A and B are shown apart, each in its own frame.
Chain A
Amino acid sequence: MSSAGPASMQELEELRRSVRGLFTRHWPVETARAFRYRPPGGLDTAPAGLWRALAHAGILGIPFPEPYGGGGASMAPLAVVLHEAGRALCPSLLAATLATARAIDGFGSEQQRAQWLPRLISGEMMAATVLTAGRAGHATAPIVRAHRRDHGWQLTGSLALVAGAAGADVLTVTVELLPPPGSGQSAALAIVPMAGDGVHVTPRSTMVGGELGDVLLDAVQITGNDLLGSSVEDPAPSHAAGSAVAHARAVLSVLRSLELLGGASAVLERTVAYASARRQFGRPIGSFQAVQHLVANASIAIDGAQLAAEHALLLVDRGGLAVREVAIAALTSGRASKQAMWTAHQVHGGIGFAAESDLHLWSERTKVLDVLSGGAGVHLADLAGALASSPLRPAKEDLSA
């Protein structure tokens, strides 16, 4: 989508400092804690200030075209942004909003880009996403049915535990077009305003507090313009809408992987700091080889997964589905982040179990993002499918494709 070349290492480090500073100012851990413990459905502590700050700094528009307020860069800097977001316990709407904007930029009509991108880039509108059917459906099977009605579509479906449901302005959701358009491709991406008639959100109490909620779409009327790649005049998608679904899913998966690894890095950093300060037997517990090896193992897992996630980001940025690389990134980042989290709890001992340590804020997000992604079994099945159906030496070819 962009003609800008890859950012230099130095530019990325500057971006990292700047984004880290932004989160420190606008989303310190005290705020993240308050957000997590707000009353169910309470929107008073919604992170509107954080979104404004991210938008003002240009973060929400980095990889999008300049005419819409974007930065015209590649997606590579998003590796830094999502890493910092994960470190800072940023609500999950950030990754979902970026994935939504990327889908609109890549698969929307000119009119749709002009309609949505400026609002997403300016932070005026944040998006939640439901792109897969959850645990059982690792394919892009839609869960919401879209029946052709007059000049648009009528959506019906029940979505369980949508991340950021209560705070989102729009929902990006995979729908099944009924009857299927002439192309035979029945899956498409719909952008549904959360304030519209027939959209009902029920916040649920979960491991991460009230950030997840059920969404009921009860005969929600949308126009062809709310369906990526179609229009009011011609409400059937004009392109292979299925690719939009699959690509959006790939983008979101990679962004989530990077976010998980950012959280894992923060957790490991806290663990190292604690182990270096905590003294037992007359010495810092971090000087014990057993403790150091726990840290080293988590470090290896995180760094390896980070390389995999950055590689996957590079490939999906070019428009590819990169099934193999996306699955590897999701698998390894899920594992690494849980390993870091378990290591942190073990090294912290009782202190980390006490809520006042805040460690659990990362631990619970890690597992929630892991489960929402489908989990290791889904990623392995994706990868096994890609392996069985692709020619040999794919890794070498992909590394250099």
Chain B
Amino acid sequence: MLAELTAAQRAWRDEVRQFLTAAMTAGLQAELRSGAPEAAGPALTGFRQAVAARGWLGITWPAEFGGLGRTTVEQQILMDEFAYAGAPALDLTVASIAPVIMRFGTEANRRDWLPGIASGAVTFAIGYSEPEAGTDLASLRTAAVLDGDEWVISGVKAWNSQAHLASHEWLLVRTDPAAPQHQGLSIIVVPLAAPGIDVRPVPTWGGLLTHETSFAGVRVPRGNLIGEAGHGWDYAVGALDLERGVIATAGDLRRAVDDLREWAAGAGADELAWMRLAELEADVAVAQLFCLRSAQLLDAGLLPTVLATEGKIFCSELRQRISDLGLELLGPRGLLTSDERQAPLAGRMERMYRFAPVQRFAGGTNEVLRDIIAQRGHGMPRHRAGRGRS
């Protein structure tokens, strides 16, 4: 295994860079900076369409599903470059949901959803967490009951980040209240336009808008069940595994440290500042290697759960340290928000500091992930009772 890219992968990286150079127009950057995520502006919509038109939403899918059939490393390059450029990240739909449909979905599921996902017409909000079911996800209570040929869904989902933009909800629900906790769950796709759905905005410190989405007797066709009933936990946790393999990107971390280096060179930073930047540089290099190697192992047919999990922890905690030191080095002016013309680095470091806590608890909180490293990676004894996994 080489910690580097092949000639073909470099060419792909250059293609992505060229696209981003052209696509990250001043208008798009202004829209992204405006912090008004209530509606996608015309530039953002155009950007998403351009990405979809290139087939990049289905970059790793097999050709038989309308994908480009590219490797995980190439997807990693794409995500890294997007993050480096500050472009809108590729939709989680692509990273985690589509592969689940391909692997576990019925023939009808694939036909119903994959073409729309590939074209960008179908986008998902992830409906896993609930107000009372966070890290202990399997205790969730949103229920779906079969009534004739329809599922009737009632409950509340929390931290539903894309609910204002997505076309559908990828909903983890309890379909068998009598079954053991992990075995009574299923995945059902719900159009967000369906009657009975209420989306309540929840603003956050990071500026990102998230939502609490409630379902009051929402009815969807029976065929919206993904795969088999009772297997929802495997699909959701399987998706989390895949997500960890591809979601950890160090592209924004690399950019932040490069930003700080550029600032340090311009500002004539002293030796102490360079020494402290060197600490971050070492960690960013390691973060990039964690991500790249995980992708390489996935391409080699392995599921590098432990390494990818370590990478997720490492990247998310490094994000806090980079933005912390970054704001310290930039001084009081670094506290200016992006709407201030004088904001150094266009306010990116200030924004990063506010966003940084999220990745540390989202996508599997780091404390539980450390359990996974100890137990799956090192075979240490389990400390939680009644768990079906790990």
By the criterion CB–CB under 8 Å, are B1 and A9 in contact?
yes
By the criterion CB–CB under 8 Å, are A384 and B300 in contact?
no
- Chain A residues with Cβ under 8 A from B84's Cβ? 396
Please report whether the interface of chain B is mostly helix, strand, loop or mixed according to DSSP.
helix
How far is B371's CA from A291's CA once the two chains are assembled, in angstroms? 10
- Chain A residues with Cβ under 8 A from B10's Cβ? 400
Which chain B residues numbered 236 to 294 have a C-beta less than 8 Å away from chain A? Answer: 254, 258, 261-262, 264-265, 271, 274-275, 277-279, 281-290, 292-293
- Chain A residues with Cβ under 8 A from B2's Cβ? 6, 314
Interface size on B, residues (CB 8 A): 53
With A289-B370, A304-B287, A307-B286 already in contact, 9 other A-B pairs whose C-beta atoms are closer than 8 Å: A9-B1, A9-B300, A299-B310, A305-B286, A324-B281, A332-B282, A384-B275, A393-B254, A395-B288
Q: How would residues 275 to 296 of chain A score, 1 for a CB under 8 Å from any chain B CB and 0 otherwise? A: 1100000011011110111011
By the criterion CB–CB under 8 Å, are A310 and B3 in contact?
yes
- Chain B residues with Cβ under 8 A from A308's Cβ? 282, 285-286, 289
By the criterion CB–CB under 8 Å, are A387 and B379 in contact?
no
Q: For the complex, is B374 an interface residue (Cβ under 8 Å from A)?
A: yes
Given A289-B371, A293-B367, A314 and B3 contact (CB-CB distance below 8 Å): yes
Q: For the complex, is B380 an interface residue (Cβ under 8 Å from A)?
A: yes
By the criterion CB–CB under 8 Å, are A292 and B377 in contact?
no
Residue of A nearest to B251 (CB): A396
Q: For the complex, is B9 an interface residue (Cβ under 8 Å from A)?
A: yes
Residue of A nearest to B13 (CB): A400
By the criterion CB–CB under 8 Å, are A303 and B300 in contact?
no
Q: For the complex, is B151 an interface residue (Cβ under 8 Å from A)?
A: no
Which chain A residues numbered 243 to 288 have a C-beta less than 8 Å away from chain B? Answer: 268, 272, 275-276, 283-284, 286-288
- Chain B residues with Cβ under 8 A from A288's Cβ? 383
- Chain A residues with Cβ under 8 A from B299's Cβ? none
Q: For the complex, is A227 an interface residue (Cβ under 8 Å from B)?
A: no
Which chain A residues numbered 357 to 401 have a C-beta less than 8 Å away from chain B? Answer: 380-381, 383-384, 387-388, 392-393, 395-396, 399-401
Q: For the complex, is B92 an interface residue (Cβ under 8 Å from A)?
A: no
By the criterion CB–CB under 8 Å, are B275 and A380 in contact?
yes
Partner of A384, one of B278, B310, B313, B370: B278
A295 CB to nearest chain B CB (Å): 5
Partner of B310, one of A283, A303, A327: A303
Residue of A nearest to B381 (CB): A287
Q: How would residues 362 to 390 of chain B score, 1 for a CB under 8 Å from any chain A CB and 0 otherwise? A: 00000101110111011111110000000
By the criterion CB–CB under 8 Å, are B377 and A387 in contact?
no
Partner of B383, one of A9, A289, A387: A289
By the criterion CB–CB under 8 Å, are B380 and A286 in contact?
yes
Partner of B281, one of A284, A381, A387: A387
Q: For the complex, is A113 an interface residue (Cβ under 8 Å from B)?
A: no
Please report whether the interface of chain A is mostly helix, strand, loop or mixed according to DSSP.
helix
Which chain A residues numbered 308 to 354 have a C-beta less than 8 Å away from chain B? Answer: 308, 310-311, 314, 324-325, 327-328, 331-332
By the criterion CB–CB under 8 Å, are B293 and A307 in contact?
yes
How far is B290's CA from A296's CA once the two chains are assembled, in angstroms? 15
Interface size on A, residues (CB 8 A): 47
Q: For the complex, is B52 an interface residue (Cβ under 8 Å from A)?
A: no
Q: Which residues of B contact A (CB under 8 A)?
A: 1-5, 9-10, 13, 84, 254, 258, 261-262, 264-265, 271, 274-275, 277-279, 281-290, 292-293, 300, 306-307, 310, 313-314, 367, 369-371, 373-375, 377-383
Given A284-B381, A384-B274, A384-B275, A292 and B371 contact (CB-CB distance below 8 Å): yes
By the criterion CB–CB under 8 Å, are B3 and A311 in contact?
yes
How far is B369's CA from A289's CA once the two chains are assembled, in angstroms? 11
A4 CB to nearest chain B CB (Å): 14
How far is B258's CA from A393's CA once the two chains are assembled, in angstroms? 6
By the criterion CB–CB under 8 Å, are A299 and B1 in contact?
no
Partner of B374, one of A293, A327, A401: A293
Given A284-B381, A289-B371, A400-B13, A384 and B3 contact (CB-CB distance below 8 Å): no
- Chain A residues with Cβ under 8 A from B13's Cβ? 396, 400
8 contacts between A and B (CB under 8 A): A287-B380, A289-B370, A296-B373, A299-B373, A314-B2, A383-B282, A392-B258, A396-B254
- Chain B residues with Cβ under 8 A from A284's Cβ? 381
Q: For the complex, is A115 an interface residue (Cβ under 8 Å from B)?
A: no
Partner of A287, one of B274, B293, B382: B382
Q: For the complex, is A114 an interface residue (Cβ under 8 Å from B)?
A: no
Partner of B282, one of A6, A289, A327: A327
- Chain B residues with Cβ under 8 A from A314's Cβ? 2-4
How far is B84's CA from A381's CA once the two chains are assembled, in angstroms? 27
By the criterion CB–CB under 8 Å, are B278 and A387 in contact?
yes
Residue of B nearest to A385 (CB): B274
By the criterion CB–CB under 8 Å, are A295 and B265 in contact?
no
Counting from the closest, the 10 A-B pairs by CB-CB distance are A292-B374, A296-B370, A307-B289, A311-B3, A400-B5, A383-B278, A287-B381, A384-B278, A296-B373, A304-B286
- Chain B residues with Cβ under 8 A from A299's Cβ? 306, 310, 373-374, 377-378
By the criterion CB–CB under 8 Å, are A325 and B381 in contact?
no
B198 CB to nearest chain A CB (Å): 38
- Chain B residues with Cβ under 8 A from A57's Cβ? none
A88 CB to nearest chain B CB (Å): 20
Q: For the complex, is A297 an interface residue (Cβ under 8 Å from B)?
A: yes
Partner of B285, one of A291, A392, A395: A395
- Chain B residues with Cβ under 8 A from A272's Cβ? 378-380
Given A292-B375, A387-B278, A400 and B4 contact (CB-CB distance below 8 Å): yes
By the criterion CB–CB under 8 Å, are A304 and B289 in contact?
yes
How far is B286's CA from A308's CA once the two chains are assembled, in angstroms? 6
Q: For the complex, is A232 an interface residue (Cβ under 8 Å from B)?
A: no
By the criterion CB–CB under 8 Å, are B379 and A300 in contact?
no
